[in-house]
Amino acid sequence: MATIVLAFPGSVAWAEQPKEVRIATVAHYNGSRPSFIGSAAVIEKQGWLREELKKRGIRLVWVPVAPQSVGATINESFANHSIDFAGYGDLPSIILNAGGVETRLIVPGGRGNNVYLLVPPNSPAKSITDLKGKRIALHRGRPWEITFARLAEANGLKLTDFRIANLNPGAGAAALAAGNVDAFVTLSDAFPLVDKKIGRILWSTKTPGQDWKMRAELWGDKAFIEKYPDITQIVANAYVRAAHWVAQEENYPEFIRIAVVGGQDAEVVKREYADDSISWKARWNPVFDEFVTSHYRNAIYYSRKVNLIRNAFDESRLFEPKFVRQALKDLKLEGYWDTPAVAASTDKRGSS
Amino acid sequence: MKRILNLAGNRVFQGAVLPILLLVLWELASRQGVAYAYAFVPLGQIWQGLLELLQTGELVTNLTATLRTMLVGLLIGGTLGLAVGGMMGIFRIVDLLIGPLYHTIRQVPLLGLIPLIGLWFGNGDFSKVLIVSMAAFYPMVLNTYEGVRNVEKRYIEVATVLRFSRWQLFRRVLFPGALPSIWTGLMHALAFAWISTVGSELLFAAGPGLGGMMQNAQSISRMDIVVIGVASIGVTGLLLNAGFSRLRRYSLRWRETG
Amino acid sequence: MSIPVFRWRSPHERFLFLLSPLLVIFAWVWVSRLGLFPDQILVPPQHVWEAALGLWESGELQMHLQQSLYRLVIGFSVGALLGVAFGILIGLSNTVENACSPLFHAIRQVPTVAFIPMLILVFGVEETFKIIIVAKAAFFPVALATHDAVRGIPKAYFEVARAYRLPTWLLVWRIILPSTVPPVLTGLRISLGRSWMVLVAAELLAADSGIGQMMEMGRQMFRIDIVMVGVFVTGLIGFSLDRLFRSLEGRLVKWKHQS
């Protein structure tokens, strides 16, 4: 296997069509079987993608990735061509493309996931400015770094104004519990920590006007999508189809159920989506719009500024929007998401 | 008879004092408030977690996967190590050629190679087995080499007088002479293989295994499962070590009478 | 007992000594010249060299190196000293051995890396945690080697000591320490390697400085050249420490034979 990876750098080349389509996605292991979350779980549940690929004699392979090191693991897998697609974050993708391995954003993941800034329950801090000079657990190069940097910048601070401890989310939580850091930046795993009285949420991307959510979406290997545009189209259709299914209010209970099967806690998932300034439907909007473009422009600018990447580049290089356009046409969903992104009133989902 | 029983009971008792003391301290610590309970989960909760893991079969599947990675790596690395170490011990030219490279590469901390190995060979089972094989390989080479080199000169002289063939020399003199050292190497290889199996499971991406189980538990703040993971790793290691020690005694029994 | 210590041998052996490492480096240069693999997979040697120079000039490399070595020296010294003391103690006293050995062997069997999450919880992510984890890694092999060595001392020695009413400290100093030097030194050397590996792993998982952290950061930033620099530096450190200990071993064994 090793020799195969090394001997055929473009492992998919020279074949009329691939034998399998490999999509990396975040997974938990319960026993020996990985359980998937997010779009992958919905797509697998729908079964449409597997069926469509099977008709062409192609096998669908989900490649599980541990939550602790998604960015680095998927970047390495793209570099050695052991995957064709991956659902993962914005900043790792920017780092990968800056490093010379080319991937493209195929289907945007909507408005993104929330990022939470936790402090110990007894912390006197009232806002991020109180954390100046303090020690903060932040896994570098992960999508939420951008969010944190934007929050800092909005308050006239820089990353260097804090003592950043580069810790993965598990170690970060532990460090917060042991009182070794004064704050911890993470995703919805913040809620169990709040329940255990390890931390309280000082700030989150649910704050209206500061909804700098992190983005996780479908990326494809450039070589693959250029060689197999039709297969890529099928994959894109499956992701848009899944987004459309989730976006419908009546599927919400089922969506939660799928998340629970995937090893997530129902309450955590519900709270992640509760009290948000973004409407449920807009949250799953897969359209390439100004929101996506400006997010990446911003992220690349930031990455260059703090030396995460050596050369800045134009964000349009990352996008391949034609597949979503075609998918919306194929699924007769043109115009479905043409509604304002921000709901008139705060979405009260799950607050019951 | 009664005295022997008494002594045995006494010994078990002596050995149990420290662990029990630790458990009591642990339980006390868990009651010092919520933040403490995060690090020191109450014993009852650990027990519940254990029952849960046993019921779902999670513990068994993960343990099996970890053991498989370890044993495959140990087999591959151990065999190669035996061959390379033996060659280095017997043939000076091999020692001169491979020795420096071996001694240099051996010093690179294995777990530090994980980013490179992940990039080159993917983040799957192959990479884990590769790391474990390397971990088993190093001590095996070293101890086989030292064992062969330290076979007493006079035995070799006797063999020369007896005009042993190279194969006979190896089979009758060098191998038995080096066997105790080879066993030391194997015991080290076992320990290193076990360390690197857990280490690679912690550092590599998802996959079944105790390390992965602990990582997941950590990410959802289930400290009870982390503790169960540590304990399972310890108990399994203890059993493996006991099993191999028994094998070692069995295969070296001729030395006692010799 | 001969201990394999590398010494500079005759000129042509010295050439042979360098041959295999040189061949590997040559192969690396050659394959990356051929362009069989993209630069991101097989970083050309000159990129690694440039990255190393860059890290050196910015002072980053020295800073990380200093941090790692500091943790190693402190942690290893603490662990090894405690290990020798504990090994002698359980080697001499049956009661202590009976009381400690189940727990000792149970903890010894748990790879140090598996303790990382728990240790972080108890000691946090600061220096204490890293020093303790290095000390833990050093303690067990040293204690075990010392114990075995003490138990291996012929009974007659102890009987003679008892007959002459030798005080315990003299027994330790004159009999136990000298006769346990070679195996304990081997234990020390092995545990030094192990400590170094554990430290790098701990720094990979949780730290904000040190060589392991430099590599982890390189990995997160997809800077394989920096990762490679880390691999070389860690290897070089490990190699130097090993040679240092081997020459020490050689000297102490000589001292033992003289005394």
**pLDDT at residue C5 is higher than 60:** no
Q: What is the pLDDT of residues C148-200, one digit of tens each?
A: 888 888 777 778 888 888 887 887 777 777 777 777 888 888 788 889 988 98
Average pLDDT of span A28-49: 80
Looking at per-residue confidence, does A270 or A221 come out higher? A221
pLDDT band at B57 (very low <50, low <70, confident <90, very high): confident
* pTM metric for this prediction: 0.82
Which of A3, A30, A142, A184 is best to mutate for the B interface (most B CBs within 10 A)? A30
Let me know: does C41 contact B117? Beta carbons within 8 Å: no
Q: Which chain A residues contact residue B203 at CB under 8 A?
A: 69
Residues forming beta bridges with residue A219, ordered by sequence position: A86, A105
Looking at residue B253, its pLDDT comes to 78
Nearest-neighbour CA in chain A from C132: distance (Å): 16
Average pLDDT of span A332-337: 89
| b/e sequence A103-135, b meaning 16+ C-beta within 10 Å | bbbbbbbbbbbbbbbbbbeebebeebeebeebb
**pLDDT at residue A346 is higher than 70:** no
Q: Which chains touch A (3 or more CB pairs under 8 A)?
A: B, C
Looking at residue A60, its pLDDT comes to 94
pLDDT band at C100 (very low <50, low <70, confident <90, very high): confident
Determine whether the interchain pair C216/B115 forms a contact, defined as Cβ–Cβ distance below 8 Å: yes
- The 3-class SS string of A240-262 reads HHHHHHHHCHHHHHHHHHHHHHC
CA C213/CA C168 separation, integer angstroms: 46
Q: What is the pLDDT of residues C117-142, one digit of tens each?
A: 677 767 777 788 889 999 999 998 89
The one-character DSSP state at A62 is E
Give the alpha-carbon dihedral of C37, C39, C42, C44, to 10 degrees.
120
**Is B54 in the C-facing interface, judged by CB distances under 8 Å?**
no
Average pLDDT of chain B is 83
Q: Which chain A residues contact residue B118 at CB under 8 A?
A: 72-73, 76
Let me know: does A59 contact A231? Beta carbons within 8 Å: no
pLDDT band at A27 (very low <50, low <70, confident <90, very high): confident
Please say whether the dihedral angle defined by the alpha carbons of residues C30, C34, C37 and C40, taken in this order, is positive or negative.
positive
CA A173/CA A180 separation, integer angstroms: 10
CA B32/CA B36 separation, integer angstroms: 6
Let me know: does A90 contact A149? Beta carbons within 8 Å: no
**pLDDT at residue A278 is higher than 50:** yes
Residue among B101, B203, B234 whose CB faces C109 most closely: B234
Looking at residue C208, its pLDDT comes to 74
DSSP character string of C136-200: HHHHHHHHHHHHHHHHTS-HHHHHHHHHTT--HHHIIIIIIHHHHHHHHHHHHHHHHHHHHHHHH
Determine whether the interchain pair C113/B39 forms a contact, defined as Cβ–Cβ distance below 8 Å: no
Q: What is the pLDDT of residues A104-120, one digit of tens each?
A: 999 998 888 899 999 99
Average pLDDT of chain A is 85
Q: Which chain C residues contact residue A178 at CB under 8 A?
A: 120-125
Please say whether the dihedral angle defined by the alpha carbons of residues A283, A285, A291 and A295, taken in this order, is positive or negative.
positive
pLDDT band at A12 (very low <50, low <70, confident <90, very high): very low
Q: What is the pLDDT of residues B84-125, one digit of tens each?
A: 998 888 888 888 888 888 877 887 888 888 888 888 888 778
Q: Are strands A85-89 and A216-221 parallel, antiparallel or unpaired?
A: antiparallel
Residue among B111, B119, B145 whose CB faces C204 most closely: B111
Q: Nearest 5°: phi and psi at A235? A: -65, -45
Q: What is the ipTM score, two decimals?
A: 0.80
Q: Which chain B residues contact residue A169 at CB under 8 A?
A: 219
pLDDT band at A102 (very low <50, low <70, confident <90, very high): very high
Q: Which chain B residues contact residue A2 at CB under 8 A?
A: 120-121, 126, 130
Nearest alpha-carbon partner for A241 in A52, A84, A6, A115: A52
DSSP 3-state of A35: strand
Express as a percent the part of chain B with pLDDT over 70: 90
Looking at residue A9, its pLDDT comes to 43
Size of the B and C interface in Cβ pairs below 8 Å: 161
CB contacts under 8 A, A 19-58 vs B, are: 27-34
Looking at per-residue confidence, does C13 or A169 come out higher? A169
Average pLDDT of span A278-287: 89
Integer distance in angstroms from the first to the last C-alpha of chain C?
Answer: 17
CA A108/CA C228 separation, integer angstroms: 34
Looking at residue A64, its pLDDT comes to 85
DSSP character string of C94-146: HHHHHHHHHHHHHHHHS-HHHHHHHHHHHH-SSHHHHHHHHHHHHHHHHHHHH
CA A26/CA A73 separation, integer angstroms: 11
CA C133/CA C195 separation, integer angstroms: 8
Q: Which chain B residues contact residue C235 at CB under 8 A?
A: 104-105, 107-108
Nearest alpha-carbon partner for C191 in C80, C109, C114: C80
Task: Read off the tokens for B48.
Answer: 């519940």
Determine whether the interchain pair C105/B238 forms a contact, defined as Cβ–Cβ distance below 8 Å: yes
Average pLDDT of chain C is 83
Average pLDDT of span A172-198: 87
DSSP 3-state of A322: helix
DSSP character string of A7-22: H-SSTTTT-SS-SEEE
Looking at residue A237, its pLDDT comes to 95
DSSP 3-state of A278: strand
Q: What is the pLDDT of residues B220-244, one digit of tens each?
A: 667 788 889 988 998 888 889 889 9
Let me know: does C68 contact C212? Beta carbons within 8 Å: yes
Looking at residue C176, its pLDDT comes to 79
**pLDDT at residue C62 is higher than 70:** yes
Looking at residue B212, its pLDDT comes to 82
**pLDDT at residue A230 is higher than 90:** yes
Q: Are strands A135-137 and A163-165 parallel, antiparallel or unpaired?
A: parallel
Looking at residue A320, its pLDDT comes to 94
pLDDT band at B2 (very low <50, low <70, confident <90, very high): low
**Is B124 in the C-facing interface, judged by CB distances under 8 Å?**
no
Q: What is the pLDDT of residues A242-263, one digit of tens each?
A: 999 999 989 999 999 888 887 7
pLDDT band at A86 (very low <50, low <70, confident <90, very high): very high
Looking at residue A343, its pLDDT comes to 46
Average pLDDT of span B185-194: 90
